[in-house]
């Protein structure tokens, strides 16, 4: 499958690499290809600059947000949640129409430093905002409740015996996303319902960051039922 991953940060890199490993045709999208390829400093988390990662993954194409989305059958939003709407507008509404969009982003507000608060909560969510802004796109919220490493390899923790969630209005789109998650190694995926249920998984991030400050980010929920 031709898949666009929008965002060249740690999440975009991990997801792109896994998709390529699974033999998908992947293009990673960025606002400015030249600027991305000119980076020489590690990112905020100390990861190597993007060109170094790109050199290690020559089979993954790099393009603008619009180029990546236009050529894709499925799109992954791995951009900064505060800028996701703007980034998706750059990708082009016409390039997203009719396609499944997996929204991994969280609406975290770092303006007051750590721990971050949420830019939207309770009565709305980033997933819903994206769906409203791009009504012809099939938005499915998923993977936003774990760190980038567990997203693509859940068996690193408890042998994979923990839970992932999906939210979205389109049943067929969610089925397609669940199949993709299963290819990553997820065996317990709960369909929470329509896109409004993304409020719950996004607001969980307030707890997630508190747990993270106590130690390793390698943790997740297991829903026992």
If you ran DSSP here, which 8-state letter would residue 195 be given?
A: G
pLDDT at 53: 94
| 142-167: pLDDT as tens digits | 999 999 999 999 999 999 999 999 99
- Asked whether 153 and 161 are in contact (CB, 8 A), the reply is no
Nearest to 170 by CA among 193, 152, 188: 193
Candidates 49, 47, 19; CA nearest to 36 is: 49
- Domain boundaries of the chain, sorted by first residue: 2-212
**62-106, pLDDT tens digit by residue?**
999 999 999 999 999 999 999 999 999 999 999 999 999 999 999
Query: What is the CATH code for 2-212?
Result: 3.40.50.720
Q: Indicate the pTM of the whole model.
A: 0.96
> Residues 6 or more apart from 80 whose CB is under 8 A from it?
7, 9, 87, 105
Please answer whether residues 145 and 201 qualify as being in contact, where contact means their C-beta atoms are separated by less than 8 angstroms.
Answer: yes
């Amino acid at each position: 499958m031709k898949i666009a991953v929008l965002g060249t940060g740690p999440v975009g890199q991990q997801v792109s690499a896994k998709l390529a490993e699974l033999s998908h045709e992947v293009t990673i999208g960025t606002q400015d290809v030249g600027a991305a390829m000119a980076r020489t400093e590690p990112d905020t988390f100390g990861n190597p600059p993007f060109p170094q990662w790109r050199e290690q993954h020559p089979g993954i194409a790099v393009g603008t947000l619009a180029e990546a989305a236009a050529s894709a059958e499925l799109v992954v939003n791995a951009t900064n949640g505060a800028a996701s709407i703007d980034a998706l507008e750059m990708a082009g509404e016409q390039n997203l129409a009719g396609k499944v969009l997996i929204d991994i982003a969280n609406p975290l507000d770092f303006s007051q430093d750590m721990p971050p608060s949420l830019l939207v909560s309770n009565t709305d969510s980033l997933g819903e905002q994206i769906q409203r802004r791009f009504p012809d796109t099939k938005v499915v919220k998923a993977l936003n409740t774990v760190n980038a490493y567990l997203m693509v390899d859940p068996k690193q923790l408890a042998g994979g015996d923990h839970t992932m969630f999906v939210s979205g209005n389109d049943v067929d789109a969610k089925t397609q996303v669940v199949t993709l998650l299963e290819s990553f190694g997820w065996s317990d995926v709960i369909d929470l319902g329509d896109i409004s249920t993304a409020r719950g998984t996004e607001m969980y991030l307030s707890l997630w960051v508190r747990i993270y400050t106590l130690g390793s980010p390698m943790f997740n929920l297991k829903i026992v039922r």
